[in-house]
């Protein structure tokens, strides 16, 4: 859990080339549901195991286009049939989901929800005496936080 994550981070700080610790940290992030941190830590990973964790995290975040790219990276790095089958199946399922009308509606609804939150924040800041530059910073910060 959290203790393992802290220990692994310390190990990596002491030895940044320790690929075993890095992969274990990715697995710990995944198990803990800390997908944003996994993605940030693995953006430049080059191993097929790291690309696999990155793909799985992208799927959990519903970033299916990015997930498919990571699965394609796994395909380029593997010669094992089991891994090839797994990657191809994930790409197939993600592509079906990306093309589905339900996913497109959910994506559009999420965008509308974000815009509504930003608009509500704008209304709140307009009703108070906040300097214009500060209003823009508050609105931008709120909008960015909803994108995570």
- Quick check: 130 pLDDT over 60? no
Residue scoring higher pLDDT (33 or 114): 33
Cα 145 to Cα 106: distance, rounded to the nearest angstrom = 19
Q: Which long-range contacts (CB under 8 A, 24 or more apart) does 61-67 make?
A: 61/35, 61/36, 64/94, 64/95, 64/97, 64/98, 65/98, 67/94
Question: Using the 8-state DSSP alphabet, how is residue 124 labeled?
Answer: H
Query: Mean pLDDT over residues 36-40, rounded?
Result: 93
CA torsion 140→141→145→146, rounded to 10°?
Answer: -30
Query: Mean pLDDT over residues 50-59, rounded?
Result: 95
Query: Mean pLDDT over residues 38-59, rounded?
Result: 93
Average pLDDT, the chain: 82
CA torsion sign for 43, 49, 51, 54 is negative
Residue scoring higher pLDDT (90 or 102): 90
Contact 3, 26 (CB under 8 A): no
């Amino acid at each position: 859990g959290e203790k393992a994550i802290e220990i692994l981070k310390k190990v990596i700080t002491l030895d940044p080339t320790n690929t075993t610790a890095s992969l274990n940290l990715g697995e710990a992030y995944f198990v803990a549901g800390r997908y944003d941190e996994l993605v940030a830590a693995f953006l430049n990973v080059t191993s097929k195991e790291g690309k696999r964790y990155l793909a799985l995290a992208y799927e959990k975040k519903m970033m299916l286009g990015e997930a498919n790219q990571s699965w394609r990276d796994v395909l380029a790095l593997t010669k094992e049939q089991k891994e090839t089958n797994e990657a191809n199946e994930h790409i197939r399922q993600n592509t079906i989901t990306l093309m589905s009308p339900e996913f497109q509606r959910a994506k559009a609804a999420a965008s509308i929800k974000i815009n509504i939150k930003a608009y509500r924040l704008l209304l709140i800041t307009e009703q108070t005496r906040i300097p214009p530059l500060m209003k823009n910073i508050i609105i931008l910060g709120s909008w960015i936080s909803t994108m995570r």
